[in-house]
Amino acid sequence: MLIPIYSLINRRSDRSRHLMKLTGQPIETNKAKLLLTITGLVIAILLPVIILPRINHPFFVYRTSIHLASITISIFLIVVSILTYRRTGSIKVLYTTIAFLSLLVVELIFLLQIVDGSNRIMVPL
């Protein structure tokens, strides 16, 4: 009934990993906290500029919420892919980051197109 010492060390490290999951994790490892933080920041930044001045238009609320959701998801995917690139160093992940960045740019352009008064903004070809 002798247990090797290395098995006790491994069990202890498994317990500490489990405790780390139960306690606070850094925001980089907890994707739910990261998504909530990014969602809060996007809404806080765009609320006074885009959302509140046009809150009475029912069509605008639905259309803006779709664009805000797309912007939030694209920023979340950019951050996650950057964290993955830092961990792995894979060039494929870097290309994925660039693809999500282009999605963010397109969604911002679409959001600016539906805002009144921004129709004077011209993007050169």
Q: pLDDT for 40-99, tens place per residue?
A: 888 888 888 777 777 777 777 788 888 889 999 999 999 999 999 988 888 999 999 999
What predicted TM-score, i.e. pTM, was given to this entire model?
0.68
23 pLDDT more than 90: no
Assess if residue 11 is contained within a domain. Answer: no
115: which DSSP letter? S
Beta strands in 16-99, from DSSP E residues, in sequence order:
none
Q: How many structural domains compose the chain?
A: 1
Assess if residue 124 is contained within a domain. Answer: no
Assess if residue 2 is contained within a domain. Answer: no
Assess if residue 82 is contained within a domain. Answer: yes
Assess if residue 5 is contained within a domain. Answer: no
CB burial class (10 A; 0-12, 13-18, 19+) of residue 39? middle
Assess if residue 95 is contained within a domain. Answer: yes
Assess if residue 91 is contained within a domain. Answer: yes
Scan for tokens 């909530």, then name that residue: 36
Assess if residue 8 is contained within a domain. Answer: no
Higher pLDDT, 62 or 29: 62
> Domain span at residue 95?
27-114
